[in-house]
Structure formats: C-alpha cells, structure tokens
Structure 1
Amino acid sequence: MARPINDWNARQYDDFAEQRQQAAIDLVAAIPPLRGTTEPAKITDLGCGSGLSTCLLTERWPDAAVTGIDKSPDMLARAAERVPQAKFQQDDIANFKATQPQELIFANASLHWLPDHRKLFTHLAQQLSFGGILAVQMPNTLSEPSHQLMSELALRPAFAEHLSNLKSDREDLLTPMDYYDALAPVCDEIKLWETHYHHVLDGSKDILRWFASTGLKPYLDMLPEGERPDFEKQYIDAIALHYPSTSDGKVLLRLPRFFVIARRRA
C-alpha cells in the first residue's frame, strides 16, 4: 500500500536512528523502580514512532505488556517490524485515555506536538496506577536557528503564497515550574532536567535530512512538489551560515531536550 503523502516517513526518520535514539536511551536509564516491585507490567509508549523507543522498553522490561500508540501508519508498520513482541495501536495521542491504569507511560519526542501542556500532563499522570511513572522527553528547539529559519523562509515571497496558512499546534514548552505545578497535585518524586545534545552530522544537507521528517515536514507537505527543491536549497544555504563546519568538515547540530519523570502519588 502506498504511503499517504502527509504521513510520516519512517525510513527517512530512521536515517539518523542511532542519534535520535540516544535521548530515549537516557530517559529509560533514568526511570526508577516501581514501589514494591522491580518491573512494570503495563507500559504505554505514547507516540512510539518507528519503534526506536519501544524496543528499549521491551529490552529493559521483557515481561511487560508494551503497547505503542501512534497516528502514522508508516511509522507503526516500521515499529511492528522492529519490535514484533509489542502491540501497536493507531490513534491520535492527543486522545489518549488508558483502558486500565498504566504502570509506565513513556513519551519520547512526541508530546511537544500537542497543545495545552498544563492540562495534558495532569491528564497523563491520572492515567497511571498509584506509584506508576510518567517519563517524558521533548525537543526544546523552537528558538534554535534550525527552526527559526523555517519560519523565516516561509515568509519569503516565493513561498508565502503556499505557506501563509500554515498552522501548527506546536507551542513553546512551558517553564520547568509550570510542569512541576501541573504534576504536583497528582505526583511526587518529580524530576526535571534539560540536556543539550550536539549531533555530529556530515554537513548542512544532513541538517535538512534530519528535520525533513520532523520539523520541516509541515512546510514541505504544503508546498507544491515543484517548489520543494528551491525551499530545501534556500534552507540549506541559510543553515550553513548558522552551523559552521568543524575542522574536518562536519557540522554540530545542537538539539536541546527537556526531560520529565514523575511518580503518581499513592
């Protein structure tokens, strides 16, 4: 079956699988044991994508019932290939409501696409069993040159006709205090931190490739096919000014990521 034009492209996303997976590895490593037991039995991977995070969950907790949820058919097909022992469900994670309390809700690089995080984080914490863990990682990139340049390019006359109506639910992340206050009525043992990853890429074209399946995707989807190459070229030219080459010709893509781990209060 052909992939719908606006669907996510799992193979393209996996071009940088090892580097994309590092934040999920770090998040899994930071998850504490459940109270009274060492392993969660019911785990939801919220916005599982191509299964890069799901496979980490099944490796750490092989006896758990792990369910990955994602909106993209292409991502889910790739995830099912990668992690056949997990279950996968096609749904919009904005509508997530657990059929039974979960001992771990894991959301790696997915919740930043959703609005109204104060309500969202309180809601997710309420889907946990008592003592269950919410573990979240979100890119904090809207103020980075990589994303500022996307918005600036969209205003140029050559593209504004097609991109002027582009709307995204993506908002700036809340402050750490806001996330704490959203979770504190329901959770304790709340941990918040930010890590800045510096991904070593071969050049400016790789920065385009990195974001073509994520942040740039809404822009590329709205452009006529014949105008995408020009948009991509102008993006690469602009990127090169903000991400200079290293001594050996590589570039460093700085990518801040914000982490939250909270335990539901018993």
Structure 2
Amino acid sequence: MRAAPAPSTAKPDWQPALYKRFVGERERPALDLINRIPLDEPGFILDVGCGAGNVTALLRARWPRARLLGMDNSPAMLASARAALPDVEFVEGDASRWRPPVPTDLLFTNAVLQWLPDHEHLFPHLFGQLKPGGVLAVQMPRNHDRPSHTQMIETAKAGPWRDKLAVQIDRPQRVAEPAFYARLMASMTSAADIWEIDYLMRLQGDNPVVTWTRATGLRPFMEPLDEAERTRFEADYAARIRAAYPPEADGSTLFAFRRIFILAVRPA
C-alpha cells in the first residue's frame, strides 16, 4: 500500500494581488492619516510595513522631494513594491527590531503594528527613530470584538483543528484602547493626537468580508493548517460570516471597520 502524502506545512506568504482587491477601502484610512500630518517638507520618510507600496506611493505624491525608504518583512510584498516604485528604496526587516540608517522626519506605519506584540516597548522603539521635531504617524485596525474577527476564533474552537490553532485562540489582543496609547505617548511627548474612526464600507462581491479578511486577519488561522483543513476552515468561517453580514437589497454588503490613529511629535 502506498503511503498517503504528508500534509503541506508550507506557509502562504502575503499575496499582493489579494490584498489589493479592496485597494480603495484600504487606502482611505492611510490618506486620512497623511492629510493630518503636520509636516511641510520632511527630508526623510520611513514607511514601516510598506507592503506592496500602495501607501508608499501616496506618501511620495504628498512629498515628492523627500527621500523615501519602505520596509517590510514579506519578500512577496517587497517584490511587488519594487516593481511598482522602482525609484524608491525598499528593505526587508522586522519592525520590532529594525532601525533606519539615520533618524527620520516621519515614521509612517499603516495597518501594521496590530501584528506585533508588546506595544508598551514597541512604540518607544519607533518613537526613538525620529529626529527632534519628527512625527510618528500610526494607523491600526481595532476590530477584535467584531464578527469578522470573533468568528475566526469560534471557527477555530469548533473544528478538528482546535489544537493546531491554540496559539491563535489564546493570543491576547495586541491593539489596546485609545486611553492606553494616550498614557503611553504622554510619557514621551506632550504633542500627541489620538482618535478612532469607524468606516462603514459598502463592499461588492459574494461574501466579500471573507475576501477582505482572507488577505489579512484570517492568514494566521490558515497558516498552521494543511490544504484540506484550510478549505474546510474557510467554508465554516464563510458560512458564519454570511450570516453575520447578509447582503443588502442591491447585493452589496455593509462592513463596519474600526481604526485607531496616532500622531505624535518628538520634542525639538
């Protein structure tokens, strides 16, 4: 008898094409943050977690004379960014440890830090990379209590993959309440502005909330599973999401997505 093939253990890398599926909706918070940055002509801008370079392009459009450096930990995303922006420098690195070659006028990070733990030490690490008078600009999703995210946990708990997904089930939430960041930033600067926006988006397509999360929040749940388990997990999750986000009369789906914003200026 032939032995059954071993389950796949390969972890899917970030998929730039999938992430860009809702590019307009994903870029809107970045634009809202860019438009609030109190800098006229920054000389050096660092885009931490630049991904495929979509937001890096927005930064370049706002400040065309600035030196731009994009950093990300995904080779696939960096390859896409380099192809789209051949005149911008991109490097691979881990935001929790990596430092730029020189202090920066603007450290911009959009929808990245929610992936990283220990914000109590991460934010001082990033803030310390600014020049005096430099700006830290952060945007993070904060949706752990919404069905799009709670149903990932429920799907993980309900299936035969529960043991494989124990880390995801038990992982503490990394993005805190706004008051946490207000107190944290107050220890570093008196010039910090923190706010939240709930974006109510009208998404198109069949069960589009699944497509949205497949490119981001769903990835850590899929990575430990073999191919057959991924298919079953996504089918279970998709059924839960369809019930939580039913289509409107015109076929679109309303999807509320909360984001927290932080702007902090390093004392001169």
Q: Which residue of 1 aligns with 2:5?
A: none
- Matched residue SS, 1:194: strand
The CA RMSD measured in Å over matched residues stands at: 1.7
Counterpart-to-counterpart distance in 1, 2:161 and 2:113? 28
User: Which structure 2 residues correspond to residues 101-120 of structure 1 after superposition, within 5 A?
Assistant: 101-120=103-122
Q: Which residue of 1 aligns with 2:18?
A: 12
Which of 191, 200, 206 is residue 202 of structure 2 equivalent to? 200
Worse overlay, 140-149 or 161-170: 161-170
Counterpart-to-counterpart distance in 2, 1:185 and 1:155? 39
User: Which structure 2 residues correspond to residues 80-159 of structure 1 after superposition, within 5 A?
Assistant: 80-159=82-161
Q: Which residue of 2 aligns with 1:162?
A: 164
Q: Displacement of 1:158 after TM fit?
A: 2.9
- Matched residue SS, 1:76: helix
Which of 32, 43, 48 is residue 26 of structure 1 equivalent to? 32
Q: Displacement of 1:154 after TM fit?
A: 0.5
| Cα deviation digits, residues 38-92 of structure 1 (max 9, x gap) | 2001110000011111001111111111101000000001111222221100111
Which of 246, 249, 252 is residue 251 of structure 2 equivalent to? 249
- Structure 1 pair 242–60 and aligned structure 2 pair: CA distance change class (3 A): same
Q: Displacement of 1:123 after TM fit?
A: 1.9
Counterpart-to-counterpart distance in 2, 1:63 and 1:150? 43
Contact 1:203 1:245 in 2 (8 A): no
Identity of aligned residues (%): 38
Q: Which residue of 1 aligns with 2:44?
A: 42
| Cα deviation digits, residues 159-204 of structure 1 (max 9, x gap) | 2243235478662422322212222232232111101112211255
Counterpart-to-counterpart distance in 1, 2:218 and 2:196? 23
Amino acid at match of 2:79: A
Aligned length: 259
Gaps of 5+ in 1: none
- Matched residue SS, 2:161: helix
- Structure 1 pair 119–161 and aligned structure 2 pair: CA distance change class (3 A): closer
Q: Which residue of 1 aligns with 2:53?
A: 51
- Matched residue SS, 1:75: helix
Worse overlay, 170-179 or 58-67: 170-179
Counterpart-to-counterpart distance in 1, 2:174 and 2:97? 21
Contact 2:34 2:59 in 1 (8 A): yes
Amino acid at match of 1:10: P
Q: TM-score, normalised by structure 2?
A: 0.91
Counterpart-to-counterpart distance in 2, 1:242 and 1:28? 32
